[in-house]
Amino acid sequence: MLKITFAAQTIPGQAALILTIGDKGLLGAQGKKLDIKLGRAISRAIDASHFTGGVGQTLTILAPAKTRLSRIVLLGVGDVAKLDAGACTRIGGAVVAGLAGKDASAVLLVDDFKGLKIAVGEAAAQIGFGARLRSYRFDKYFTKQKPEQKTALKTLAIATTDASGAKAAYAALDKIADGVFLTRDLVSEPANILYPETLMQQARALKDLGVKVEVLNTQQMKKLGMGALLGVAQGSANPPYLVTMQWNGDATAKDKVPVCFVGKGVTFDTGGISIKPAAGMEDMKFDMAGSAAVIGAIKALAGRKARANVVGIIGLVENMPSGTAQRPGDVVTTASGQTVEVINTDAEGRLVLADALWYAQETFKPRCIVDLATLTGAIIIALAHEYAGLFSNDDVLSDQLTKAGTAVDEALWRLPMGDAFDKMINSPIADMKNTGERGAGSITAAQFLQRFIKKGVAWAHLDIAGTAWQGKDKPLSPKGATAFGVRLLDRFVFDNFESK
């Protein structure tokens, strides 16, 4: 794990130095001093390249003369007057992405620029946060790696004029990163290692942070009438669980009604009897990314001692074909008492969420409820891997989530809902069916979930099928699991429900 430290603003005698540069090659106070010392080597390198100082741009000067530095990496921060927390986080990610080499340690000098509106300590903390997020690697199963395949960088010292302020601001961000890393680890694990029981145990481990964790087993769920969730699980040798995680961080609040997050936890999805094509099925280990995001968000909130009351609920199942598996055409009775005709056993996530959402409302009567799920491939057709789909019955809640997502670069796009779409899931033999027509697949999935939301309860559904896993590097994460939703939910709580 990359260690982030903060120190006084000095230029190191050796190791790698990362120097912040403004738009159009603008040098700060320390950069100007160093440039003079090096016979204007920095200015000449900028003039001889396409480096403009844009946000996240890098330019490396190897083994600069007159120093013992292994390299100087010029790091663009863009227009300093427009620099904000989000940009600083992306800049930190660019540091790690651009610092390939043998250096085990590096110093990032956050230079002084006129017109900087963000506090220098906050800027330094956010840069450190971005660097840590981008440093993530899931390499536990490699037994043979060449040196160039391994991460050399172990320590990043961030030099700033406000080291104490940066350290204080980073403390909470570091805990959020812990939640992000846990989620990425869980989503990355193969299904022979991570299945409902072992994922339940990961949630249970949050007790060490003061989280109250309760687990329902098969018999307890049967008593509650959770026929939809149990129907999905009945084809697997691995038993299902419903896990509740309570973080009561605001014990003094007069109104202790919690915010509730619900996550889909299908630890592997074969499609069941409606089996998926073999090509790409290995990716279905991440069909539990919604539940992992909820676990990670609760860990982040508890880790930084958020002054808010939040409940996380996850339904954990494995969707397998077998002689006991649910069949297309079966009718199941949900915890709400409503019946569902199962048209396609590969539309299983909504069945799990139906019972989990109902349990959340019956048990906690939350002020609002947000569910996260890798629910439909259709959302990728609509939004590619750039946005998560947002569906909601409440404009205020929708706006709050969108704003939080924008602040942390986890973008949401709201899609429509309505009676015309709702009619598409009417069944001739039950209250509803679990799939609609070929068109609007993501919308009809959301309409299905809405049927399990009680009147007057503010609810939002985030379809993260396109954002939970990426096939290429992103500014704040390498390719693979992204932990989409953890930082979004943390920011949502901080902005709207946390006692300041």
C-alpha 230/C-alpha 227 separation (Å) is: 5
| Residue indicated by tokens 């936890």 | 265
Alpha helices in 365-427 (DSSP H): 378-383, 395-407, 419-422
Residues in the chain: 500
C-alpha 209/C-alpha 230 separation (Å) is: 30
Establish whether 433 is a catalytic residue. Answer: no
Catalytic site residue from 71, 167, 350, 474:
350
Non-local CB neighbours of 321 within 8 Å, separated by 6+ positions: 235, 270, 271, 272, 273, 275
| Residue indicated by tokens 């390299």 | 71
Contacts 24+ apart (CB under 8 A), 135-142: 135/1, 135/2, 135/96, 136/180, 136/181, 136/184, 136/477, 136/478, 137/478, 138/184, 138/185, 138/188, 138/480, 138/481
Give the three-state DSSP class for 183: helix
Catalytic site residue from 37, 276, 367, 451:
276
Tell me the residue type at 196. Answer: P
C-alpha 211/C-alpha 300 separation (Å) is: 11
Establish whether 276 is a catalytic residue. Answer: yes
- Residue 91 burial by CB count (10 A; 0-12/13-18/19+): exposed, middle or buried? buried
Structure tokens at 127: 């840069």
Cα→Cα distances 404→5, 246, 350, 401, 492, Å: 27, 22, 25, 5, 5
The set of catalytic residues is 276, 350
